[in-house]
Structure 1
Amino acid sequence: MSATLPEHYREILLGLGENPDREGLQDTPKRAAKAMQYLCRGYAQTLEDVVNGALFASDNDEMIIVKDIELYSLCEHHLLPFIGKVHVAYVPTGKVLGLSKIARIVDMFARRLQIQENLTREIADAIEQVTQAAGVAVVIEAQHMCMMMRGVEKQNSTMNTSVMLGALRDSSRTRMEFLQLIGRSK
């Protein structure tokens, strides 16, 4: 843990007009620093470490989809959470990725200060890089606390982003198959 991060949180409490020495707040700067480091642990991870060699030879050339992966991230503009789910698909070309690695890739990028648009692209690019897939798709549906708790305070708003690469971008049939399988197309 950074030696100065708890001190910064103490200063934030003072700046808010709080007494960081009162009973309920005495350990808050340390706890907040530890929590922030946990929430931003993706900075300490690399794609190679996360995948850890879990790429396996396969003759499968049909679309693989992992849907409803939980997502927890922090908005880089307000440091407030956005939460939701991620749907990932890829069309393999001789190699498949270990199932849990897809969720770990999502987490690695989500556990950095982010905007959802960039997060969607980073996940898609990483899946493509690792698998050399013929096509990759990523859809994220998330609710942003910066929209819900402050500013316009819209409680039921959801942001949807998508990135389609290769066959999932070029083939409307393949793209529609993906969207139907994740339940986002009629």
Structure 2
Amino acid sequence: MAGVDTERIARAVREILLAIGEDPMRPGLERTPARVAEAYAEFFGGLDVDPLSHLADAVPIGASEQGVPATSDAVVLRDLAFRSVCEHHLLPFVGTAHVAYLPGERVVGLGRIPAVVETLAARPQLQERLAEEIADTLEAGLDPRGVLVVLDAQHRCVTTRGPRQTRSSTVTIASRGVLAEPAARAEIIALIGAEQHD
């Protein structure tokens, strides 16, 4: 892919401003096309990035002196902030991702999981598909025994237009392997919802 064409976006935004009856050259709007183009380059920067690249440096978990795997049963990352853009109206949706996996033979640095979320969110998206893509990437990149992804987000196409449900949020869940089983999934969801203490 060639990347985001900011000049083309800026031209299109000028056309949108003209189409709504505005003057794109008036003070306050002169730099708007360039600003929107810069924002879109950030919003959609994940289109040129392979999310699996963030998991390329996964390492074998090894074993303890007793011969058992030297890792916990589950790795759970809670409260990962994310933002994406809904492909239906090109309006943002913003929320929190909770990601868990049960390591198989390999683990990855904790900073790599948010990078996967960020990359996949930085594309025109649907929340349902985003959860599935995060789960698929972790499954392909780490070969874990199980994966669970929970996304909770507010959609600007719901909060700012139509019925304007300003307090509503949408929760989507994607699970793989052992964590697709109801009892195991419920245990991880309880961990995600457990109260945190500083």
Over residues 6-62 of structure 1, what are the superposed CA-to-partner deviations in whole Å (9 max), with x where a residue is unaligned?
1111001101111001111111111111111111111011124333x3201112261
Identity of aligned residues (%): 37
Contact 1:90/1:136, CA 8 A, preserved across alignment? yes
Aligned to 2:66: none
Query: Please, what TM-score do these two structures have when normalized by structure 2?
Result: 0.88
Aligned to 2:183: 173
Over residues 89-147 of structure 1, what are the superposed CA-to-partner deviations in whole Å (9 max), with x where a residue is unaligned?
11111111110110000001101011100000000000111110010000000011100
Contact 1:168/1:174, CA 8 A, preserved across alignment? yes
Matched, 1:26 2:30: yes
Contact 1:61/1:93, CA 8 A, preserved across alignment? no
Equivalent positions of 1:48-67 (< 5 A) are 48-51=52-55, 53-58=56-61, 59=69, 60=71, 62-67=73-78
Aligned to 2:43: 39
Aligned to 2:64: none
Unaligned runs of 5+ in 1: none
Q: Secondary structure at the match of 1:108?
A: helix
How far apart are the structure 1 equivalents of 2:110 and 2:54?
12
Q: Secondary structure at the match of 2:111?
A: helix
List structure 1 segments (4+ residues) > 6 angstroms apart after TM superposition. none
Contact 1:61/1:94, CA 8 A, preserved across alignment? no
Unaligned runs of 5+ in 2: 62-68
Match of 1:112 among 96, 102, 123: 123
Contact 1:54/1:101, CA 8 A, preserved across alignment? no
